[in-house]
Amino acid sequence: MSKTFYNEILTDHNVNPTHKHSIEGANFSLEGVNPSCGDDIVLSLKVEDGIITDGGYEGDGCAISQASADMMLDLVIGKSKEEALRLSDIFLRMIKDEITEEEKEELEEAGVLEDVSHMPARVKCAVLGWHTMEEMLAE
Amino acid sequence: MKAAKISNFPVLDEQKIHYLDNAATTQKPGCVITAAANYYRQHNANPMRGLYALSIAATDAYEKARQSVADFVHAADSREIIFTRNATESLNLVASSYGSMALSEGDEIIVTIVEHHSNFLPWQQAAKRAGAKVVFFECEQDGTLSIETFRSLLNERTKIVAMTQLSNVFGRSYDVKAFAAAAHEAGAVFVCDGAQSVPHMPVDVQELDVDFLAFSGHKMYAPMGIGVLYGKAALLEEMPPFLYGGEMIEYVTREGATYAELPHKFEAGTVNVGGAVGLDEAIAFMHRIGWEKIIKSEDDLTVYAFEKMQQIPHIHIIGSSDPLEHHGILTFTIDGVHPHDVAAIFDSEDVAVRAGHHCAQPLHKHLGLFSTTRASLAFYNTKEDVDAFIDCLASIRGRMGYE
Ligand SMILES: Cc1ncc(COP(=O)(O)O)c(C=O)c1O
Model confidence over B283-315: pLDDT tens digits?
999 999 999 999 999 999 999 999 999 999 999
ipTM: 0.84
Could you tell me if the CB of B90 is within 6 A of ligand 1? no
Quickly list DSSP for B343-358: HHHHHHTTEE-EEE-T
From residue A134, give the alpha-carbon distance in Å to each of A130, B11, B237, B241.
6, 44, 59, 51
Q: Using a CB-CB distance cutoff of 8 angstroms, which residues of chain B are in contact with residue A37?
A: 338, 340, 371
* pLDDT tier, B1 (very low <50, low <70, confident <90, very high otherwise): very low
Q: Is A72 helix (H, G, I), strand (E, B) or coil?
A: helix
d(CA A81, CA B62): 66
* pLDDT tier, B390 (very low <50, low <70, confident <90, very high otherwise): very high
**Dihedral of the alpha carbons of B280, B286, B291, B297, in degrees to the nearest 10:** -150
d(CA B278, CA B275): 5
d(CA B19, CA B16): 9
Per mean pLDDT, which range of B278-287, B309-318, B362-371, B391-400 is the poorest? Answer: B362-371
Out of B338, B347, B401, the one facing A62 most closely (by C-beta) is B338
State whether residue B340 sits within 8 Å of chain A by CB: yes
> Is B192 labeled as catalytic in the residue annotation?
no
Could you tell me if the CB of B197 is within 6 A of ligand 1? no
Could you tell me if the CB of B115 is within 6 A of ligand 1? no
- Which of B94, B196, B329 has most ligand 1 atoms within 8 Å of CB, for mutation? B196
- Which of B115, B116, B117, B176 has most ligand 1 atoms within 8 Å of CB, for mutation? B116
Model confidence over A79-99: pLDDT tens digits?
999 999 999 999 999 998 889
Q: Which residues contact B47 (CB under 8 A, 6 or more apart)?
A: B55, B58, B59, B61, B62, B270, B271, B273
* pLDDT tier, B253 (very low <50, low <70, confident <90, very high otherwise): confident
Query: Which one from B31, B139, B192, B359 is the annotated catalytic residue?
Result: B359
Q: pLDDT at position A2, please?
A: 43
Q: Among the atoms of ligand 1, which is closest to the Cα of residue B164?
A: 1
Could you tell me if the CB of B165 is within 6 A of ligand 1? no
Q: Is the pLDDT of residue B67 over 80?
A: yes
Model confidence over A28-66: pLDDT tens digits?
999 999 887 778 999 999 999 999 999 999 998 999 999
Determine the residue among A4, A5, A6 to mutate to test chain B binding: the one whose Cβ has the most chain B Cβ atoms within 10 Å: A6
Out of B344, B370, B400, the one facing A15 most closely (by C-beta) is B400
Residue with CA closest to ligand 1 atom 15: B195
Closest CA to B139 of B149, B128, B152: B149
DSSP alpha helix (H) spans, B290-368: 291-310, 339-348, 361-367
- Determine the residue of chain B that is closest to A39 in CA distance: B338
Closest CA to B42 of B309, B267, B274, B355: B274
State whether residue B370 sits within 8 Å of chain A by CB: yes
- Determine the residue of chain A that is closest to B347 in CA distance: A1
E strands present in B140-253: 158-164, 189-193, 212-216, 227-231, 249-252
Q: pLDDT at position B6, please?
A: 47
Could you tell me if the CB of B331 is within 6 A of ligand 1? no
Q: Is the pLDDT of residue B193 over 60?
A: yes
Minimal C-alpha gap between A20 and chain B (Å) = 15
State whether residue A78 sits within 8 Å of chain B by CB: no
Helix orientation angle between A123-138 and A81-96, rounded to the nearest 10 degrees: 150
Domain annotation for chain A: domains and CATH numbers: 3-138 (3.90.1010.10)
Model confidence over B233-251: pLDDT tens digits?
999 999 999 999 888 888 8
Domain annotation for chain B: domains and CATH numbers: 10-20+290-399 (3.90.1150.10), 32-286 (3.40.640.10)
What count of other Cβ atoms lies within 10 Å of the Cβ of residue A13? 26
Phi, psi of B329 (to 5 degrees): -105, 115
Q: Does the distance separating the beta carbons of A11 and B340 come in below 8 Å?
A: no
What count of other Cβ atoms lies within 10 Å of the Cβ of residue A80? 14
Q: Using a CB-CB distance cutoff of 8 angstroms, which residues of chain B are in contact with residue A59?
A: none
Minimal C-alpha gap between B340 and chain A (Å) = 6
- Determine the residue of chain A that is closest to B372 in CA distance: A37
Which carries the bigger pLDDT value, residue B56 or residue B50?
A: B56
Work out the mean pLDDT of chain A and round it to a whole number.
91
d(CA B322, CA B307): 10
Q: Does the distance separating the beta carbons of A8 and B340 come in below 8 Å?
A: no
Work out the mean pLDDT of chain B and round it to a whole number.
95
Task: Answer for the pair B168, B181: CB distance below 8 angstroms, yes or no.
Answer: no
